[in-house]
A and B are shown apart, each in its own frame.
Chain A
Amino acid sequence: MASVAFHVSGLTKVYRSGEVDVHALRGIELEILESEMLVLLGPSGSGKSTFLNILGGLDRPTHGSIIFRDHDLGAMNDRDLTLYRRDHVGFVFQFYNLIPGLTALENVALVTEIAARPMRPEDALAVVGLKDRMHHFPAQLSGGEQQRVAVARAVAKRPDILLCDEPTGALDSPTGITVLEAIEQINAELKTTAVIITHNASIANMGDRVVSFADGGIAQIAGHDKRLPASSLHW
């Protein structure tokens, strides 16, 4: 039995958007295991992204606790959260969020420069199959290529946790699958805990467990006996 990476209990988040209070999370209880691949499903506004942000130390809960290994993320100050992200977390976003003024290689180097035990940026790009495109600027890459650069950037630091927010949301099916394969490979080879947000129910099949969010809470947790490989998915 794998050990627990995250222990989440009573997690609540309220924030202000414009002039209204939004209850994004309402008392989440969850354990996430080391090297598990967890898929978060749910409609827009159900709280998935907020949960992912708190997991990644981008945001702090309003109430409740979230423990990573033996670190209480809720009790960390800004500085500690920064170090937590720097040392443990890799992010992949729906819109890639590459810096347009930097080449693929430089976008990855941006992270390896501050990481403790990174891969070489070239190697990270090789993992996602983009070694020959590494001197291209984001505008010169296709959407799938950009997202694979984003994946390379996320894994280059050899993170303990890989957090992906709709990684295929802006991509067509074949391109999306190449990205998912890259994530799958890293989860398998580096034993990285991966949490993937998606709207796409067929992607859920590649996870160990699927957590369905609704209205700021967990509606259902389903386990898979057998994960499907990313290459067998289609939508």
Chain B
Amino acid sequence: MATLNRKLLRDLWRLKSQVLAIASVIACGFAIVAMTFGAMESLRTTRDAYYEEYRFAHVFSHLKRAPLLVATEVGRIPGVAAWDARITHYAALDLPGRPEPSAAELISIPDTGQPRLNRLVLRAGRLPLRGRNELVMSENMASALGYKPGQKLGVILGGKKQPFTLVGIALSPEFVYVLAPGQLMPDDKAFGVIWMDRSILEAGYDLIGAFNDLNVMLAPGVSEQDVISRLDRMLARYGGNAAYGRVDQTSHAFIDQELAQLNTIALVIPPIFLAVAAFLIHMVLSRLIDIERPYIGLLKSFGYTNWEVGGHYLKASLLITLVGVLGGACIGLALGQWMTTMYQRYFHFPFLHYQIDYAVFALAAIGSFVAAITGAQRPVSRAMKTSPASAMAPPTPPVYHATLFDRIGVVRHATMPTQMIFRHMVRWPWRTGFTSLGVAMAAMLLVCLFFFFDAVDALVEDFYFQSNRQDIVISLSEQGSDRARYEVANLPGMRRVEPVLTVAARVSREQLEQRLGLQGIEPGTQLRVFREKAGNPFTLPAQGIVISDQLARLIQAHVGDRLYVEFLEGSRRTVPLTVAGITAEQVGVSAYMDRKELAGLVGAPGSAASFDGLVDHRALPSLLRHLKDIPAVVAVSTREQAITSLREVMAKSMTIVIDFYIGLGAVIALGVVYNAARVALSERSHELATLRVLGFTRGEVSYVLLGEIALLVIAALPLGCVMGTGLAWGMSQAMQTKLFRVPFVVTPATFGIGMSVVLLSAVVSLLIVAWRIGRLDLIAVLKTRE
């Protein structure tokens, strides 16, 4: 090994704690890239392989009822590679030992076994036998309930409770993410998917020789839109709702959303770490080069070229980065694997392999080295430019000037050490600024990350308390009449009931259109609140349509615009409606109108698809038991239960994430503060030792050095909060999806946590350096030439 390289290694070893601090910052950035891109890649390739192997359909259509012959005709549409006509229905379940209502989407499978599309992955047991009351349950529900094959349960089929035996547990590419209609988060005990023999469902729903749900697989290169249009024309007279592609399929849309959010994180967070790392490398290398100025001169006097000398120091920064990159790769791999197992909680894949995308690793490594070179560039070029003679001479004392601070009375009358602090800060304004900025970045990161918890709280508050005030939503399997309303209203503990009619519809304005469930709301509703963007509530008008702000954005509609609403069931008419109001909502894409008006337009057989209710909480358990026994009730969700399960999921998945992110913030704060303090100590040890010789106490001397850094940290905190708020705003914008808006709310608690973590890290770093000041060797320091 060349002697110069040996020197390099020994130098880095001597500076190991600083090297480690910088390498940790780089490692964090690299790990996030490795983790997020790894998770993205894993999700994407697993999803694609799963879809391919288990023949996930491309186009989906739901209809009222059509003879099976129609499906054969669908098969003749050019571009249709395969089709599967089946029966699906939501149904309430009677689960032994569970007082709360549960529901499932029932799906028929052919008596020949596996369906042609959306094939099942049997995880346990077998498929149902022909004509038997046997079922296969989705794995999410079965494992949440602890069910094994052989379990008995009841299913309310066509209004009648029937006994069934669970014979198999399965996964399906159609239900990678299982979400009950109208819910924010999965609740695996309350909702699942059940497959059973076709003949059972034919009998239960009076669909012998018919189907009400059609899946289509397209041949490669076929226009999805063309097939959808033909399908819609063909199925219209069978009560077909508008067909839709994968983009609108719930499970697929959620995976897409997750991928998009991972992408945002991967692109926004790591550059922050690289910027901090570049700054730290700049700071430490500058100091190293200052210390080694005589040796630089020496090397040049031996005849080493500028490039050889510059390269020597550049190598130092690259080596530090290499340590960080290697560490980051290890952490990233571990975290990626951990994240992959996390995904197994949300997404139900039969296999989920952590994929290592070497190209991403290479790219992240290049990014890290570029950051290192950027940070090293100025100090290295200074080393190169240093003339050998001036490097050999003792450095001229830095030029201090009386500063603005000196004219401020407080400072002028301050003690000498305090004046030294201010002079030093002003003497190196860039370093002062960047040190503060680096610490601020730690606070920024923490504020931005904890903002997500504020956002979820705000989302819950908005969705479950502000926009919707009902304690319970009771969904019916078929549209119910007014009689059903009185039945429900008379249940124990029911304080108020408002029927809601939901009709599948396509809302369009000029070329823009959106499919949704148009909700008919009771006039004078007390359970639904419509609010303008500014927060002022308004009442639902008798005529016209109220749309959510997200829908308004999607179809670019304003109050007073005329929209065309095509009902996809019932009358199937297309009617013009005027936008009477735009209501601010954080979740979903929705539209509302007067319930009776809607029922009239659509010619609905019933006047309600669900009921919103206010409940006396003491009576809730008995109410749930009663609801379980009403055959028409297919699903019941209570606010309490929904919020509890949402919080459970958050708690399970987020605790590790929180620890990790607190760690990230702390690494940055530690890295910056520790390095700033060490560099200052090395720079000023002569000065500090002189003070000690003059009779200053250890505490007084520490104050000169650490007081300055403490001041910078304190200045950085509000800056970090402001920057964090800005970043949070950016993230809330970048993470908007069709399904969710991330509300922009940052609470004082978030600022508090961010600042506390930074302060704590700073205190730890300063204590370590204070301990070093205590060990300062006065004589040795004074004897050195500098």
Contact = CB atoms under 8 A, between A and B. Distances in A.
Interface stretch (A88-96, A174-182, A195-203): A88-96
B396 interface: yes
B444 to A, nearest CB: 38
Interface in A32-85: 50, 53, 56-59, 78-79, 82-85
A91 B298 CA distance: 9
B404 interface: no
A18 B399 contact: yes
B6 A106 contact: yes
Interface in A178-232: none
A4 interface: no
Contact of B10 (A57, A93, A102, A111): A102
A53 B397 contact: no
Contacts, number: 85
Interface string B574-611: 00000000000000000000000000000000000000
Interface centre among A101, A107, A109, A111 (most CB of B within 10 A): A101
Given A17-B396, A18-B399, A91 B304 contact: no
Interface stretch (B164-172, B371-379, B387-395): B387-395
Interface centre among A91, A93, A110 (most CB of B within 10 A): A110
A23 to B, nearest CB: 16
B3 A109 contact: yes
A113 B2 contact: yes
Interface centre among B11, B305, B389 (most CB of A within 10 A): B389
A114 interface: yes
Contacts of B295: 97, 99
A52 to B, nearest CB: 9
Interface centre among B295, B306, B397 (most CB of A within 10 A): B295
A21 interface: no
A115 B388 CA distance: 18
B14 A101 contact: yes
Nearest to B308: A114
A102 B7 contact: yes
Contacts of B294: 97
Contacts of A19: 399
Contacts of B76: none
A79 B301 contact: no
B6 A58 contact: no
A77 B704 CA distance: 44
Interface centre among B10, B294, B306 (most CB of A within 10 A): B10
B7 A18 contact: no
B486 interface: no
Contacts of A7: none
A86 interface: yes
Contacts of B618: none
B549 to A, nearest CB: 65
B389 A110 contact: no
A106 B785 CA distance: 23
Interface string B284-322: 000000000011011111111110100000000000000
Nearest to A18: B396
A136 to B, nearest CB: 14
A87 interface: yes
A18 B4 CA distance: 32
Given A18-B399, A99-B295, A102-B6, A85 B392 contact: no
Contacts of A56: 301
Contacts of B299: 110
B7 A97 contact: no
Contacts of A109: 3
Given A59-B387, A59-B389, A99-B295, A85 B6 contact: no
Nearest to A91: B301
Nearest to A78: B306
B305 A93 contact: no
19 contacts: A17-B396, A18-B399, A53-B388, A53-B389, A58-B387, A58-B389, A59-B388, A78-B306, A82-B300, A84-B303, A85-B303, A85-B388, A86-B303, A91-B298, A95-B785, A99-B295, A101-B10, A110-B4, A113-B4
- Give 8 nearest A-B pairs by CB, closest first: A86-B303, A59-B389, A101-B10, A58-B389, A58-B388, A85-B303, A53-B389, A109-B3
